Amino acid sequence: MCIEFLTWLSTYTLIILCELGDKTQVAVLLLTSNNPGRRWLIFGASALALTLCVLIEVTVGVTLAKYIGPALINRITGIIFLIVGLVTLAQYFKLLEKFKLKKPSNAEEVANNIKYSAE
């Protein structure tokens, strides 16, 4: 086995183990369970985002971590997660409001279910 392959394999295994149960995973999990019909879109977007992340990590990341430090980066991430959480909850309560105002008739419900499963 050549050293290139060994480097690749060790990185692959290490990253898979690191990524399990991480906050990125939680975010992707929540996004897909919110939009199950668009799972391939979400997969594409997250794959693209992760690949971009890897590019940044490998090039700029080393210097960034040296000057800012992971603690501050985590704090900024936390603030963004709080905003995302608030927006999701606002959407949830809007959904409830709509449901209270206008209860869908049986025909509409069936149509929605068909649309949902078709997606």
Q: Largest Cα–Cα distance of the chain, in whole Å? A: 66
Q: How many chain residues bind another protein (CB under 8 A)?
A: 79
10 Å CB burial of residue 38 (0-12, 13-18, 19+) is middle
**Residue from 1, 13, 104, 105 binding another protein (CB under 8 A):** 13
Nearest distance from C-beta of residue 100 to another protein, angstroms:
12
Of 33-52, binders to another protein (CB under 8 A) are 33-36, 38-52
Q: Does 114 bind another protein (CB under 8 A)?
A: no
Closest distance to another protein from the beta carbon of 105 (Å): 19
Is residue 118 a contact point for another protein (CB under 8 A)? no
Contact 118, 36 (CB under 8 A): no
∠ CA 87-88-94, rounded to 5°:
90
Q: Give min distance, CB of 84 to another protein, in A.
A: 5
The answer to whether 85 contacts another protein (rule: CB under 8 A) is yes
Cβ closest to another protein, residue 22 vs residue 109:
22
| Nearest distance, CB of residue 103 and another protein, angstroms | 14
CA–CA dist 72, 65 (Å, integer): 10
